[in-house]
Amino acid sequence: MIRNRCSELTFAEAKKLLLQCTADEQLIKHCAAVSTKATQIASAIKKNGHTVNLEFVRVAALLHDIGRIKSHMNHGLVGGEIIRFLGYPRIAQAVERHGGKGFWAAGLENMTLEEKIIFYADKRVDGDKTVSIRERYDGLIQRRTAAGRAAEVPLIKKEFELSQRLESELNGLMRK
């Protein structure tokens, strides 16, 4: 698997890695759905003449939640650690920035287009179902509140606002 520490993973290698790490069907389906959604968005943007690395988006989106095999709290950072350890720092960074602490540490304005697409695609998929970002964040707020983590709701709402802004930006790139 670790042929060359500078190379990125192929999609087949990423899929093999994910399946080696987890047998959780829900998680695998979610990762596959986010990869498909992110690739669709990236393709539409590329068709409009913008530079975007489609294969990177497809692969990194597939691995975005790999940290959930160890922890649901801060799973972006945990996933980034796993991928970085395997020798793929660019994918690791995209995984870290897809949500939570890694996202806030980076700041949306500092993220690459590929990272933004992966972040956004994840907010358009609940389980393996495509939803609006409002539905996704409403679901998130309900689940956190039910889990006794209502203190996190203001930050989730703030993230929702940024996601709305990102949605406009990406829609603009898709429409041109």
Which residues would be at the binding site for Fe ion (CB under 5 A)? 65, 122
Q: 3-class SS at 112?
A: coil
> Which one, 28 or 173, has the nearer CB to Fe ion?
28
> Which one, 50 or 149, has the nearer CB to Fe ion?
149
> 63, 123, 55: which is closest to 93 by C-alpha?
63
Q: State the nearest-atom distance from the C-beta of 36 to Fe ion, in Å.
A: 13
Q: State the nearest-atom distance from the C-beta of 137 to Fe ion, in Å.
A: 13
Q: State the nearest-atom distance from the C-beta of 111 to Fe ion, in Å.
A: 16
> Which one, 115 or 122, has the nearer CB to Fe ion?
122
Query: How many Å apart are CA 152 and CA 55, to the nearest integer?
Result: 34
Query: How many Å apart are CA 36 and CA 82, to the nearest integer?
Result: 22
Q: State the nearest-atom distance from the C-beta of 30 to Fe ion, in Å.
A: 6
Query: How many Å apart are CA 170 and CA 21, to the nearest integer?
Result: 32
> Which one, 11 or 47, has the nearer CB to Fe ion?
11
CA 166 to chain centre: 14
Do residues 68 and 55 lie in contact, with contact meaning Cβ atoms separated by under 8 Å? no
